[in-house]
Amino acid sequence: MPDGIRLDHVGLNVADLAAATAWYREAFGYAVELEGRVDAIELDFVMLIEPGGGRRLELLHRPGSGPGLRAADPAEAALSEGFGHVAFDVPGLDATFERLIGLGARSVMMPRPSPEPGIRMAFVADPEGNLVELLERPREG
């Protein structure tokens, strides 16, 4: 990869921008970096950023939008081309998984070893049904 290129953010289209913003802020500790509107297409957006800056998640809503892929699990999501889930690296996978369930997420895959050696993983669906992968990587101590 050429020097200086990095993923800037991922965009997630949602039905309820205010509710999704509140959920992702509470679930992952993100802060609102920017809110705006593209009047020409009636598109509202909220750019969330992780604590301390860095990775960003953009939530978007346009009136008249309809639900897209709402896969029940990662295997079903892999049957459709395009984005199937968003993933977060979290400390304390089990506690994070339970906390997200308490915040209204649906359990999709209980915490377990990942196919990637030394990594644990789980999946939830956010309150709108979008798949969210949780990864716990060993922390340098």
Give percent of the chain with pLDDT exceeding 90: 70
pTM: 0.88
Beta-carbon contacts of residue 58 (< 8 Å; ≥ 6 apart):
9, 10, 11, 12, 45, 46, 47, 48
The mean of the pLDDT values for the chain is 91
Structural domains in the chain, sorted by start: 9-61 (3.10.180.10), 74-136 (3.10.180.10)
Q: Which pLDDT does position 81 carry in this prediction?
A: 78
pLDDT tens, position by position, for the chain (141 residues)? 477 787 788 999 999 999 999 999 999 999 999 999 999 999 999 999 998 878 899 999 999 988 887 888 888 888 887 788 999 999 999 999 999 999 999 999 999 999 999 999 999 999 999 999 999 998 876
